[in-house]
Amino acid sequence: MPSDEDSMVVTPYEVKGDIDYDKLVKQFGAELIDAALLKRFEKHAGELHYLLRRGVYFSHRDMKWVFDELEKGNPFFLYNGRGPSGHTHIGHLTQFIFTKYMQDKFQVPFYFQLTDDEKFVHNFEMTLEQTNFFARENALDLIAMGFEPDKTHIIIDSEHAGTLYPLAIRVAKRITFSTVRATFGFTNSHNIGQIFYTSFQAVPSILHSVRVGRNVPCVIPLAIDQDAHFRVARDVLPKIGYFSPAILHSKFLPGLQQGGKMSASDPESAVFTVDPPKVIEKKLRNAFTGGRGNAAEQRKLGGNPDICSIFANYQLVFMPEDDKLGEIERRCRSGEMLCGECKGICIELATEYLTKHQERREEARDKIEDFLLKDP
Ligand code: TRP
């Protein structure tokens, strides 16, 4: 009989079954973020980010080592990325917000990889021109968050191939087909672009070390489905003379419909940063909530924020203040507030936030060249 573990599949290219995070952490050989580690975060950063306080980032690899090195005077650099299969949504913003906090607090370099190559080889419907278009559009969202241009390096795979390729083949030489087949669930019908790609995703985790000519620890905040790439990379990189990158895992971000996660290729699953106010309103009005069958029942029994996509949007982006979020939760659970009112609050906050973001996003069009990695 298949166990739960067998039915739960979490790879960068497939997420299936009921997600049990404790099991996943064990299966992947990672570690839960515990109170002691949170203390070290707080001590060094001066404050604990709400995404850490709320357990959105919940698991890690080697962060104790990162803090040990930091205490010895050897700070880290940051790396993460995004597969440009469409416009940026709230889930991606969560990652940007957290990385921005890390850069602000630790004043470290940040490499951001836009994988137009990956999304091209994985999606038969998309042309390379389209994935490259979205790479540049997604870059605007990152820049709009206020990252520091002199410390932030945006990599677009198809455009920075000259810098990445000599490092990627050094990685690729150490990875067998049987490893990627087992790690990503590939079969004989996957194309060889897909098989090779993981070596490209490994490269930014050593790129800063290569550029400065000494080994620098790397910290990668990511959603846990991306872990597979770095399980492979962490095995290989020490064999070619580099540190394995440390990882901070976040949970999946629930989509606006029941049971799904936010997906850039499904416009109804999330609010996107380019959505105009009318679309934001429509999507949030139609969103799945933890409400009851009718108002009377909900007044009596209360709603359930644990399964509510509106509550998730507050938690992730629109309500960083714990006291405000606590009040929403209390009013929901007690039945004092119904979903209509709650959605109204969310629509107002989202519209205000995204209207500002959209202005900064347009201003970013002139700044993109300042942020693109300068090839050596
Ligand atoms: N493969 C990722 C995606 O599809 C993009 C990516 C590249 C990434 N490098 C990364 C994500 C590092 C997290 C961390 O979204």
Same domain? For 356 and 292 the reply is yes
Q: What is the pLDDT of residue 149?
A: 95
**By percentage, how much of the chain surpasses pLDDT 90?**
91
Structure tokens at 338: 């119904």
- The residue-averaged pLDDT of 64-86 equals 97
- pLDDT tens digits for range 197-216: 999 999 999 999 999 999 99
Last residue of a domain, one of 251, 285, 317: 251
Return the exposure string of 20-45: e unless at least 16 CB atoms fall within 10 Å of the residue's CB, then b. Answer: ebeebbeebebbebeeebeebbeeee
Residue 99 has pLDDT above 70, yes or no: yes
The minimum-distance atom of ligand 1 relative to the CA of 85 is 4
Q: Is residue 93 part of a domain?
A: yes
Same domain? For 116 and 194 the reply is yes
Structure tokens at 211: 């550029």
Report the C-alpha dihedral over residues 82, 59, 273, 228, rounded to 10 degrees: 20
Residue 62 has pLDDT above 90, yes or no: yes
Q: What is the pLDDT of residue 263?
A: 83
Q: How far is the CA of 246 from the centre of ligand 1 (A)?
A: 15
Same domain? For 237 and 172 the reply is yes
CATH of residue 137's domain is 3.40.50.620
Same domain? For 291 and 234 the reply is no
Q: What is the pLDDT of residue 6?
A: 58
The minimum-distance atom of ligand 1 relative to the CA of 119 is 4
Would the CB of 298 count as within 6 Å of ligand 1?
A: no
Same domain? For 122 and 271 the reply is no
Lowest mean pLDDT among 180-184, 213-217, 256-260, 270-274: 256-260
Quick one: which of 158, 80, 87, 91 has its CA closest to 118?
A: 158
Quick one: which of 159, 12, 137 has its CA closest to 86?
A: 137
Same domain? For 15 and 122 the reply is yes
Provide the residue count of the chain: 376
- pLDDT tens digits for range 239-254: 999 999 999 999 988 8
* Per-residue confidence band for 70, with pLDDT thresholds at 50, 70 and 90: very high
Q: What is the pLDDT of residue 1?
A: 43
Would the CB of 222 count as within 6 Å of ligand 1?
A: yes
- The residue-averaged pLDDT of 38-66 equals 97
CA–CA distance, 265 with 259 (Å, rounded to integer): 16
Q: How far is the CA of 244 from the centre of ligand 1 (A)?
A: 16
Same domain? For 297 and 245 the reply is no
Q: How far is the CA of 152 from the centre of ligand 1 (A)?
A: 16
Q: How far is the CA of 35 from the centre of ligand 1 (A)?
A: 28
Specify the residue with its C-alpha closest to ligand 1, atom 9: 81
Q: What is the pLDDT of residue 2?
A: 45
Last residue of a domain, one of 219, 251, 283: 251
- pLDDT tens digits for range 101-160: 999 999 999 999 999 999 999 999 999 999 999 999 999 999 999 999 999 999 999 999
Same domain? For 173 and 275 the reply is no
Q: Is residue 376 part of a domain?
A: no
Q: How far is the CA of 118 from the centre of ligand 1 (A)?
A: 9
Would the CB of 201 count as within 6 Å of ligand 1?
A: yes
Q: What is the pLDDT of residue 370?
A: 96
Same domain? For 288 and 222 the reply is no
Domain tally, the chain? 2
Q: What is the pLDDT of residue 267?
A: 86
Same domain? For 21 and 82 the reply is yes
Same domain? For 105 and 211 the reply is yes
pTM assigned to the model: 0.96
Q: Is residue 37 part of a domain?
A: yes
Q: How far is the CA of 202 from the centre of ligand 1 (A)?
A: 10
- The residue-averaged pLDDT of 260-277 equals 89
Last residue of a domain, one of 217, 251, 285: 251
CA–CA distance, 12 with 23 (Å, rounded to integer): 17
Q: Is residue 374 part of a domain?
A: no
Specify the residue with its C-alpha closest to ligand 1, atom 10: 81
Q: What is the pLDDT of residue 264?
A: 78
- pLDDT tens digits for range 1-41: 445 545 889 999 988 888 899 999 999 999 999 999 999 99
Would the CB of 85 count as within 6 Å of ligand 1?
A: no
Q: Is residue 368 part of a domain?
A: no
CA–CA distance, 179 with 236 (Å, rounded to integer): 11
Read off the DSSP letter of residue 315. I
pLDDT, greater one: 47 or 1: 47
Of the residues 77, 82, 111, 252, which should be mutated to test ligand 1's pocket, given the most ligand atoms within 8 Å of the CB?
A: 82
Q: Is residue 157 part of a domain?
A: yes
The parent domain of residue 198 ranges over: 4-251
Q: Is residue 262 part of a domain?
A: no
Structure tokens at 244: 């394995």
Q: How far is the CA of 375 from the centre of ligand 1 (A)?
A: 20
Specify the residue with its C-alpha closest to ligand 1, atom 8: 81
Q: Is residue 36 part of a domain?
A: yes
CATH of residue 293's domain is 1.10.240.10
Would the CB of 220 count as within 6 Å of ligand 1?
A: yes
Specify the residue with its C-alpha closest to ligand 1, atom 11: 81
Same domain? For 115 and 243 the reply is yes
